[in-house]
């Protein structure tokens, strides 16, 4: 493998888009870079720790994109990983034990364009055992259990041996009139509670059935700066998309490999849904979604009008003054309720079918321009 991978990385667009690190991320960078300074022995000793960290993080500084720290650690550790994979008889054991390092290494070797002859060769069809992640006992639960045990140990014996009849309250049975009154009160209380629960459930069901406004969705113009194939998923692209965020571009995974060649994913404007809950897609956190129209046979991008800029607000007619939600709650199925009403028209405009008012609201921007697709009529938009 050739040297100078750090210089190669710094020339990539993805490197130039990484913002300055937080104090915690800088501490991680120092920690990981320090293990490269003491030779192969320390690197090998830290393989398990590295794999564990990469189980919960895509990259070494807990960022959404690789940083120069990943490349600094990758360069000396790469030949160690290659040696492990090529020389071990029980290859499945290596894949199981270091699966997260292998995923990270494969991503970086593709990103840095390591020559094919020097690359780590992986068997993607190897079936691995399920990874068991031990859950730590919550401190509060452990403390409560300890307090209960202490309380039991310090309870006086006399209190433990108190007669049951004394604990039950005063002796003697209430008269029939009092008993009758108590029963009626209990019955009335139970009926009131049942009625309140029924009312609450009815209100909840009614609220759940109500159609939310499409203004809650944060549509924006996005600019794809660069896209690569996902290292662990043949059907996914991993794109770096500028959507106007102050903190920089987002990482977005899209299942578009079957529909667009890689070159069609480079340096183009698209419409992006920016407030879906981020999801992990084969080890890479995707923080947005590219909006497309689709049929069973074909998929097309929703095209922003000429002159659009990354971060431009996109909305349906009449709803431009309303602020979208910061993040859609997946438990409320808001996206799932609205998305089936997104469609294309005979003139290829993207619209929201407002069933309550019996009209179509066009997708537009502050200038009132149309957002269209190339050819798909009456297609779903998602």
H or E element, residue 33 = helix 23-34
Report d(CA 303, CA 14) in Å as an integer.
24
Tokens coding 324: 């979208």
Pairwise CA distance, residues 105 & 99, whole Å: 10
Question: Do 224 and 76 belong to one domain?
Answer: no
Per-residue pLDDT of the chain (382 residues; tens, 9 = 90+): 445 888 888 888 887 777 788 888 888 988 888 888 877 788 888 899 999 999 999 999 999 899 999 989 999 989 888 888 887 777 888 888 899 999 999 999 999 899 988 888 888 887 888 877 655 444 444 444 455 455 455 545 444 444 444 444 445 567 788 888 888 899 898 888 988 888 877 676 566 568 899 999 999 999 999 999 999 999 999 999 999 999 999 999 999 999 999 999 999 999 999 999 999 999 999 999 999 999 999 999 999 999 999 999 999 999 999 999 999 999 999 999 999 999 999 999 999 999 888 999 999 999 999 999 999 999 999 9
Any domain includes 46? yes
Residues 113 and 219 in one domain: no
Query: Tell me, what CATH number does 104's domain have?
Result: 1.20.1050.10
pTM > 0.75: no
Residue 226 and residue 353 in one domain: yes
d(CA 323, CA 116): 49
Instruction: Looking at the structure, tell me whether residues 107 and 250 fall in a common domain.
Output: no
CATH, residue 373: 2.40.50.140
3-state SS, residue 305: coil
Last residue of a domain, one of 91, 118, 145: 118
Quick one: 230 and 335 in the same domain?
Answer: yes
Determine the structural domain holding residue 76 and report its residue range: 5-118
At a CB cut-off of 8 Å and minimum separation 6, what does 119 contact?
109
**Residue 325 neighbours by CB under 8 Å, 6+ apart:** 216, 217, 218, 275, 334
Give the domain-ending residue among 103, 118, 133: 118
Looking at the structure, do residues 230 and 376 belong to the same domain, yes or no?
yes
- Return d(Cα 224, Cα 179) in angstroms, integer: 76
- Number of compact structural domains in the chain: 2
For CA atoms 141, 146, 151, 153, give the dihedral sign. Answer: positive
Question: Is residue 108 domain-shared with residue 236, that is, in the same domain?
Answer: no
Last residue of a domain, one of 96, 118, 140: 118
Within a domain: 154? no
Query: What are the structure tokens assigned to 94, written together?
Result: 């290596």
Residue 337 and residue 286: Cα distance in Å, rounded? 22
- The answer to whether residue 207 is domain-embedded is no
Together in a domain, 84 and 226: no
Residue 188 maps to a domain: no
Which residue shows structure tokens 């019955």?
Answer: 187
**Is 361 a member of any domain?**
yes
113 lies in the same domain as 236:
no
Query: 257-278 b/e with 16+ CB inside 10 Å = b?
Result: bebbeeeebeebbbbbbbbbee
Query: For residue 304, is it within any domain?
Result: yes
Q: Is residue 71 part of a domain?
A: yes
Q: Are 237 and 358 part of one and the same domain?
A: yes
Residue 255 lies in a domain: yes
DSSP per-residue codes, 120-176:
PP--TTPPPPPPP-PPPPPHHHHHHHHHHHHHHHHS-HHHHT--HHHHT-SSS---H
* Same-domain status, 263 and 114: no
């Amino acid at each position: 493998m050739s040297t100078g991978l750090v210089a190669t990385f710094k020339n990539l667009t993805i490197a130039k888009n990484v913002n300055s690190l937080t104090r915690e991320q800088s501490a991680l960078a120092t920690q990981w870079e320090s293990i490269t300074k003491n030779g192969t022995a320390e690197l090998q000793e830290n393989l398990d720790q590295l794999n564990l960290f990469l189980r919960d993080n895509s990259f070494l500084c807990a960022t959404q994109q690789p940083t120069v720290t990943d490349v600094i650690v990758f360069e000396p550790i790469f030949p160690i990983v290659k040696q492990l994979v090529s020389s071990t008889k029980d290859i499945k054991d290596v894949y199981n034990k270091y699966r997260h390092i292998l995923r990270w290494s494969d991503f970086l070797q593709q990103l840095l364009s390591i020559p094919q002859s020097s690359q780590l060769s992986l068997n993607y069809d190897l079936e691995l055992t399920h990874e068991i992640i031990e859950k730590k006992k919550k401190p509060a639960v452990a403390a409560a259990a300890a307090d209960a045990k202490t309380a039991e140990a310090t309870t006086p014996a006399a209190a433990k041996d108190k007669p049951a009849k004394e604990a039950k309250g005063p002796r003697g049975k209430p008269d029939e009139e009092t008993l009758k009154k108590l029963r009626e009160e209990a019955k009335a209380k139970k009926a009131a509670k049942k009625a309140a629960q029924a009312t609450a459930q009815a209100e909840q069901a009614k609220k759940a059935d109500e159609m939310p406004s499409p203004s809650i969705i944060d549509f924006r113009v996005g600019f794809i700066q660069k896209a690569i194939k996902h290292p662990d998923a043949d059907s996914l692209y991993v794109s770096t998309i500028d959507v106007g965020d102050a903190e920089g571009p987002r990482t977005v995974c899209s299942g578009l490999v079957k529909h667009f060649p890689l070159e069609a994913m480079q340096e183009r404007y698209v419409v992006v849904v920016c407030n879906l809950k981020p999801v992990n897609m084969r080890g890479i956190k995707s923080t947005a979604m590219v909006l497309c129209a689709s049929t069973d046979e074909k998929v097309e991008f929703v095209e922003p009008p000429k002159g659009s800029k990354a971060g431009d607000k996109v909305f349906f007619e009449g709803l431009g003054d309303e602020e979208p939600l910061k993040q859609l709650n997946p438990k409320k199925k808001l996206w799932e309720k609205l998305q089936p009403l997104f469609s294309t028209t005979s003139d290829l405009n993207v619209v929201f079918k407002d069933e309550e008012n019996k009209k179509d609201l066009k997708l537009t921007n502050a200038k009132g321009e149309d957002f269209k697709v190339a050819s798909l009529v009456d297609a779903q938009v998602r």
